[in-house]
Structures are given as C-alpha cells and as structure tokens.
Structure 1
Amino acid sequence: MGRTAKQITAREIKTLRHSAKDGKRATRYGLGETRFYLWVYPTNKKEFYYKSISGQWHKLGELTELYTRERAKQDYSKLYAQDALNLLEKTPKQRATAITLKQCYDELFTQAYALRGEVGTREYENDLRKRKDAKKRLPKWILQPLGDKLLSEFNAQILINNFTKNPDELPTRETTKKCLIVFKTLLKQAKIRGLIDDLAFIDQARSELKEILPTAPKNRKERATLLDDKNRLDEQKTSELIKCVMGGKMSLNAKLLFAFMMINPQRQNELRHLRASDLTRDKTAIKYHAHNNKTSAQALIPLSPQGRRIIELALKISGGKYIFSINNTPISDNTLNKFIKENGLNFTMHSIRATFATSIQASDELGENSIYRKKLADIIMLHITQSAVDKAYFLEQAKQSELLRVLEFWANKIENLGLDIDYLEQQVKDLLNE
C-alpha cells in the first residue's frame, strides 16, 4: 500500500486522490488519530480502515453521504477501545511479551513527540522539528534492524551488537548518543503504560558504546559565506545568489523573506515568526522580545528604507498575523535553503549573518575602529551573551542612529548588487491586480 504521512482534516477528505507514483492499488492517508486511515483507490472510491495493534487491517466502511468521517470515527473508537482493553487486561509482563518495538513505535511515537501550541507558533515549530529529527534517527539504526523484537527481549547487549555488527560502517558516538536518546524517549511512553519495566539497559549500552565507537571527524567543512579572500563582500557571488533566487520559481512570500534577510541579517526562524505587532507604530523599527529569540534579548532594531519597503509589501500579501507567511502559516524554515541547494549554490541563509558580521568589521567606509563596528554588527544580529548584566550593558551602548547607519550602508550595498525592490513591488501589484 502507498502511504503518506500527512494528517488530513475532514474538509480535505473530498479532495484526496490516489497517487500513482508507486503503482500500488491504493493510497493510505492518516486521519489524525492513531491507526485511523482512509484508503483512496484509482477509481476515487474511498474506504475507512482501522489498523489494530497487532497490525491487522479492519475495514470500517466506504465513504458515502450516509457513512461519513464522523460515523467511521465512532466505529474506529470502539475498535480502538477494545484493543486497549485487551492490552490492559494483561499483566505488565504479558504486555511486554506481546508488543514488538515496531508496534510500540506505531502506537506511541506521536505521543512521545507531541506537538504543543497552535500551528505556526514557535512552540509548535520547535516540537515539529524535534519530531522530524527523531524520525530521521530511529528508523535507520534501531527500528529497521530491531523492529520485530519484543520489548521484553531488549537488553544492553542487543543494542551494542546492533551498533557494532558492521565494523566497516560504525556510527559515531554522537550519532549513537542521539539515536539512543530518541529510543529512550519512545520507551518512556511504553514504561508509563506498563509495557516495559526498566530502561537502565539503554544507559548501560550508551556507556559501553562510548568506549567502542569512534568520535566524529574534526575536519568539518568550512562554512560557506559571500566573502572574498580578504573578508570583504564578494560582489560576484552575492549578485549570482540574488539573481538565482529573485528569478527562480518560488513563492513571492519566500522571495520577500529572502530579500529582507539579505539586508536585515537576523536568524531565519525569528524572521519567519515576525508579526505585525512586533513593529513600532510608525513601522520604522522591529521590537525583539526576550521570549522569541535565541539569546533572549529585548532590543529595538531600526529598519533601513529598503527594509521598510519590503515589510510593507509582505504585509499586503501575508493576510495574517505573521509578516512572512502563506495562509497565516510561517514560511517553512527550509524553503530558501532547499531552493539554493537545488540550484547548485554552496550557501545557506544562515551564512548571510557571518557574511554581514565579517564584512561590516572589515569595512573602513563606516569609520570608527573595527572593534566598534563588530559591536554594532553583533547588536544588530542579537549576538548577546547570556548574562543579564552583559545584556543590559550591551544594548545600552546601541544608539539607534548608529545602528541605522550600518543597516543603511549594508542595504545600499546589497541593493546595488541586484536586489531590485521595485521588481518585488511590481510583482505584489500584479498579484493583487492593482
């Protein structure tokens, strides 16, 4: 069966279609509840199914005007409750000898990595990122080789043998540590439900593997920037990047985010969650709050004229509380980086911060000494130490006029290298039919 991981709402069910990519006879869609699915066939026939904890599929009924999602959910709830009852009637030891790791994963992974908060909020985004990271780590190293083992069979030696079975492809200590953390997080949910008694074997395996496995190589790749060999802005590289993104097939919302990041080098995640309410009343500065940035800084950073124009354009098409959003949801954190990588450029959007900081420090055109210029760049990027005293002192040194002078200097430089805001403005007008 084809399978998609997307969770489907009641309103979207009518629009679902069979995917012919894998050549299977039906496509499965998860309906937001544990083991509750909709199967869609090439003829557009749709059937509701329940997958029992033992892995068996139970047909609930075909989607019709009479047999709706709500009706199917009632039948699903009965089977789910019976499954749970059958499990709870067993002793903890019986449960552990009846459940495989794969079944435990299917049942409890979403609870181990629950998504808190509303869609689009920082809390939700952070939880979603943790869930995605966990999904990448567990299957390859633990779930695929050990998924059929019963929970009662697990011990430290099984884990050690699993990670060391292929001497030519040993994972690093760091990889193993992260995998076992995810594994333990999953089994904590199993322990709460009495499916397993003790998790100490995971820590024991981790301790022994630390002595066996190699560390990660220290020769890490040099971070890509837009700097030349004299630590000055490489105009050719910058121009190529701007031309690639602005002329590429990408949403206008994402292009506006890119343009704003190029002239206002904050962390991408902070700009994705930027709200209209974070702007000053006259829209000439951004208020950064302690609760929504990495360094917990509370600062007022001015906007260059170019920055104000981009913000105004983004507000016209966002249609929600987030400035850079689509359908009131912040633009994905990987949209820009994925596009740049697919176009063969060795660069990530986070690297614009390193480019900005080094370039400003090396720019004699700004006057002052290099240490002072670096301080201004650090303030703009909220590179503030964690000490409360340091934060207060650090930000007190920042005069709005000096910060604005640096931002205007940088924005003019980027604009002269091809960042055409007039072009973006025309694109917004065309989109809104103005």
Structure 2
Amino acid sequence: MNKRQNYLLSDNGVKSIAKQSLPAKRMRHSDGDSLYLIHDPKGSLYWVMAYRYQSDKDIKPKQKTLHIGSYKTANQTIDGKFTPEISLKQARIERDKAKELLAEGIDPKEHREKEKNRFEQKDLFKVIADAYISERQDTTPKNVQKLKGYLNNHILKHIGDYPISAITAQDIIQTGLAIQSYFETQGKRTSETAHKCMSLISAILEYAINTQGYNINNVALGRSKALRPHRAERMKAVEQHQFADLLKNIDSYCNDSSYAHPQTTAGLQLMALCFVRTKELRYFEWSEIDYHKNIWRIPAHKMKMRQDHIIPLSPQAMEIIERMRPITGDTDYVFYNFMSNKPYSEAWFNQALRRMGYTGDPYPKMTGHGFRQLASTGLYELEFSSDVIEIQLAHLEQSSVKRRYDTSEHLAERQVMMNEWANHLDDLRAGKAVKFDLLSPDELEQVMQARRRKTTDILIHDKNILIKSLQAQGISDDLIKQLTKQLLK
C-alpha cells in the first residue's frame, strides 16, 4: 500500500494552475492531508478541506467540506502585482486548525459559522430572545421568570449561539426532542416544559420577524408535533379518607426522620390549615400578620392573581406561627433556611413528603400544592359557599363576585370557615367520624344557623373594637354611627 503524500503543491505550482485556461468542469488539485485547490470553470480558485464528522443528529459519520477561502476571484488576473487572498501556506494553517477542532470533537464548519457571527451579536438567537423577554410588559414577573428559565435551562444550550436566520426546522425539532429526552430521564412520559419551550421559540421568531424586521420564516410553527402530546396530570394529593394519616405523619415527622426540622413540620401543618400556594407560605413574612384580627395579609405582588389576599388565621394556625417566633423571629420570614440564608426552596415540602413515603409506595403521591385540592374538596363537602371557598383559595379575580364578597361580612364568613376547617382537621387526627353530606336537612340547617351566629359574633366584636378606636381618635358619635351601620350591612 502506497503511503499518502502530503505537500504536493507549491506556490509556483498554484500560480501555474491559475494561469491555465478555464476548465470545462470543476477541477480538484490535492495538496494532501485533506486540503484541495478547486479550479472553477468561471475562473475562481479556492481552498477546501474534506473531512468526515458525525454529529448528534447523524446515524453515522458524514462526508463534509469546509470552504477555507479564495486564492483568487474570477475577475482577478495573475500578474506581477497579484497577491492571493489566501496563500498555500495560509490554507495549510487553516487546515491544521480545523484538524485540531476535529480532534476535540468539534465540527469545524459549524465552528466557522459561530465564529463568523461572533461579532454580529444582535443577530444571535440568544440576543433576540433576551430582547423579547425584556419587552414582555403584558405578563407578570413570575411568568417572566418562567420564560427565562425555559431559555437558560433548556433552549439556549442548543440554539442560543445560532444566528436567527441560520436556524432550521430540524434545529427546532432536535431542540424539542432533547428537552423531552431530558425529562424522560427523570421518569416523565410527557413533558409540558418541552412543549412550552417550542412555543417560546416560535414566539421569539415571530418577534424577530414582526418587531425586528428579520426576513425569515417561522420554522418553529407546527414543530411541537414532533413531540409526544402532553397529558396534564391531576394535582398529586391523597384522597380525603387518607387525610387523617397524612396529618398524623406530619405531626410525627420530627420523631421519625433524621432529616426533619421543626420548621418543616410547622410549615406542613400550616399548609394544611391555610392551603395557600407553596411560594406564598415560603415567603410568609412576620410583618404580614395582623394580630388585631388574627389574619395574614399577603400583598398583591406575591399572589398569582396580583391581588391582595387575606387569610383568617384560626387559633391552631396562630399557635403554629408562634412556635416559630423563637426560631425565626429575628429574620423577616416566618420560615427561614439558615443553611442558605434565604427562604426555603420550592423542593422544601415535596422532599419532606417523599421522605414520609408519599411517593406512590407505600403511600399515594402527595405534593405541597396538593393541600389546596384537599381543602377545596373538604370544604365543599362541609357545605360552605362555593364563592367563599374559591375566594379563600384565591381563584377569583376582580369580578362582580369578588367585589360583592370583599366586605367585612365576607371576611367574617371566611373566619368561621377557617376555624371550622381547623377543628375538622383536629377531628380527623382524633379519629372522629365525619359525616359530610350525610347530614339530614334539619341537621344541615342547624349547622348553617350556628355558622351565621358565629359570623354575627365576629362582626359585633369587630364593630365594638372599631367604635373604641374611633372614639379614642376623637371622631364624632354621628360619624361613628354611620360607619358602624355600613359595617353591619
């Protein structure tokens, strides 16, 4: 077998080729070691490197060609003043650089594309994506954070450095499949995130076309079809008849687990009583407690619906909160992770529930968010008003229902409901039978009358406190009468 020879060309030899008459077809002159001089029928000469490369998209290595650059254009003539754009020596240097990239597993052609666009930052997908996120004035800070998460955690690692005009439909599909595969390794059959990422890519391309004037096609349209359809899962929670065992397991968590901390037990107990969203509890601040009325006021910027929210605190809830004061009273937050010097992470509740065994074996799966489902079902079975329940769950926006119930009378109803819910959970712990909808009409009426009496008692109590406060401020008796009359409407 003959040994392959390299450095077959010389400077004079290349000039001689350039002076030859135009070939009838493209001619290739080898310098060896994958470097070739191409003589085009139109008169140009340019350098190429032939190589084989297998990307993640390829089943086997593919034959590829790297265009190194021109020796001469078709319009140039070889004379005493001629200087090649890329000489033989320069072509060999570029060939050697490409070989080094291949040795590192990098496709020199793709590397060239990235390098070529390195100084045109404004055209990169990641730059345009950042501009798109910055202009999303119509969404909430939480949603902006989600979009940034989709980009930074999943999308940009695949196409972030691509010029937006160079992105192909296959690039989009491969990105979506890679994200889907990532979640498959975590045991998820379908991934909502993969579909959300595909939608975000499409929105960014539309933004580039409609707002930034790029003359491109939205190659992301319809590419979600390459993914498996996402099937939304029901909120993971135990059933009502398993609630009592869950409460007992939470109460004994510190005794049963070496990982447990009193804050975690208290947090789960308070979640069962207040059924707020997990983030709202994780960022619960001492300053949000109104000790005058035993309520927790969550400001609008912390709420999903961007509206202030009030949680009446039962005596049981207040007892749990006060247990935290010796631990976290010197911080801003009721629950505080001293290991990281910030509020607990999203995984806080779910990790604790998993350690209790709520993974599907031996107990059903359960998440921190599942307490909201348990409360919703339980309160409906306890025959509370649907409007009061939904407002307490912070499901209602500024609708007519919300305005109708945003009064002190409504708050009193919610105080009654939250106190009864806390007593109901105590009954579950104690193993008392709960009849729910098995009440007779007469029994149900008695329950409703008792609730109405409690509501009236709360209103009268609030009225008396208000009167004393107004009198202390020197408000006239006539004005006080008008105000208290409005309170009892």
- Alignment match, 2:219: 205
- Alignment match, 1:358: 377
- Alignment match, 1:292: 302
Query: Is the contact between residue 254 and residue 331 of structure 1 (CA under 8 Å) also seen in structure 2?
Result: no
- Alignment match, 1:336: 349
Distance 1:164 1:401 in 2: 50
* Distance verdict in 2 for CA 1:216–1:416, change over 3 Å: same
Q: How does 1:178-189 map to 2 (within 5 A)?
A: 178-180=196-198
What is the one-letter code of the residue matched to 2:414?
L
Provide the secondary structure at the position in 2 that maps to 1:179: helix
Distance 1:157 1:105 in 2: 14
Query: Is the contact between residue 254 and residue 336 of structure 1 (CA under 8 Å) also seen in structure 2?
Result: yes
- Alignment match, 2:25: none
Query: Is the contact between residue 379 and residue 395 of structure 1 (CA under 8 Å) also seen in structure 2?
Result: no
What is the one-letter code of the residue matched to 1:137?
H
Deviation at 1:331, TM superposition (A): 1.6
Distance 2:351 2:404 in 1: 38
- Alignment match, 1:254: 264
- Alignment match, 1:23: none
Larger Rg: 2
* Distance verdict in 2 for CA 1:153–1:217, change over 3 Å: closer
- Does residue 320 of the first structure (1) align with residue 331 of the second (2)? yes
What is the one-letter code of the residue matched to 1:205?
V
Query: Is the contact between residue 225 and residue 351 of structure 1 (CA under 8 Å) also seen in structure 2?
Result: yes
- Does residue 407 of the first structure (1) align with residue 418 of the second (2)? yes
- Alignment match, 2:406: 395
Query: Is the contact between residue 96 and residue 152 of structure 1 (CA under 8 Å) also seen in structure 2?
Result: no
Deviation at 1:257, TM superposition (A): 1.7
Deviation string 1:292-315 (CA, Å, 9 cap, x unpaired) is 312233344321111111222223
- Alignment match, 2:289: 279
Provide the secondary structure at the position in 2 that maps to 1:286: strand
Q: How does 1:38-187 map to 2 (within 5 A)?
A: 96-98=116-118, 130-138=147-155, 143=157, 151=163, 154-159=166-171, 162=174, 177-180=195-198
Determine which of 380, 386, 390 is the counterpart of 1:378.
Answer: 390
Query: Is the contact between residue 226 and residue 234 of structure 1 (CA under 8 Å) also seen in structure 2?
Result: yes
Q: How does 1:229-268 map to 2 (within 5 A)?
A: 234-244=243-253, 247-248=256-257, 249-268=259-278
Deviation string 1:281-333 (CA, Å, 9 cap, x unpaired) is 43611123333312233344321111111222223322222222235622212
Query: Is the contact between residue 379 and residue 389 of structure 2 (CA under 8 Å) also seen in structure 1?
Result: yes
Deviation at 1:127, TM superposition (A): 5.9
Distance 2:391 2:173 in 1: 50
Q: Which runs of 5+ in 1 are unaligned?
A: 1-92, 115-121, 364-369, 420-434
Deviation string 1:391-422 (CA, Å, 9 cap, x unpaired) is 21133385344322322222233345559xxx
Provide the secondary structure at the position in 2 that maps to 1:352: helix
- Alignment match, 2:457: none
TM-score normalised by length of structure 2: 0.48
* Distance verdict in 2 for CA 1:129–1:259, change over 3 Å: farther
- Does residue 349 of the first structure (1) align with residue 363 of the second (2)? no
Q: How does 1:17-36 map to 2 (within 5 A)?
A: none
What is the one-letter code of the residue matched to 1:337?
N
Provide the secondary structure at the position in 2 that maps to 1:207: coil
Q: Alpha carbon RMSD of aligned pairs, Å? A: 4.6
What is the one-letter code of the residue matched to 2:273?
I
Query: Is the contact between residue 191 and residue 230 of structure 2 (CA under 8 Å) also seen in structure 1?
Result: no
Query: Is the contact between residue 285 and residue 302 of structure 1 (CA under 8 Å) also seen in structure 2?
Result: yes
Query: Is the contact between residue 99 and residue 151 of structure 1 (CA under 8 Å) also seen in structure 2?
Result: no
Distance 1:334 1:199 in 2: 44
Distance 1:150 1:378 in 2: 47
Deviation at 1:205, TM superposition (A): 1.5
Determine which of 311, 319, 342 is the counterpart of 1:309.
Answer: 319
* Distance verdict in 2 for CA 1:226–1:374, change over 3 Å: farther
Mean alpha-carbon deviation: is it higher for 287-296 or for 173-182? 173-182
* Distance verdict in 2 for CA 1:358–1:235, change over 3 Å: same
Q: How does 1:1-12 map to 2 (within 5 A)?
A: none
Q: Which runs of 5+ in 2 are unaligned?
A: 1-112, 135-139, 359-364, 431-489
Query: Is the contact between residue 173 and residue 209 of structure 1 (CA under 8 Å) also seen in structure 2?
Result: no
Distance 2:164 2:413 in 1: 65
Deviation at 1:209, TM superposition (A): 1.9
- Bigger RCO (CA 8 Å, 6+ sep): 1
* Distance verdict in 2 for CA 1:96–1:213, change over 3 Å: same
Kindly tell me the number of residue pairs found equivalent between the two proteins.
293
Distance 1:152 1:288 in 2: 42
Provide the secondary structure at the position in 1 that maps to 2:297: strand
Query: Is the contact between residue 150 and residue 193 of structure 2 (CA under 8 Å) also seen in structure 1?
Result: no
- Alignment match, 2:72: none
Query: Is the contact between residue 133 and residue 144 of structure 2 (CA under 8 Å) also seen in structure 1?
Result: yes
Distance 2:264 2:215 in 1: 45
- Aligned-residue sequence identity (percent) comes to 17
Distance 1:343 1:293 in 2: 29
Distance 2:351 2:297 in 1: 29
Deviation at 1:136, TM superposition (A): 3.7
Query: Is the contact between residue 236 and residue 366 of structure 2 (CA under 8 Å) also seen in structure 1?
Result: yes
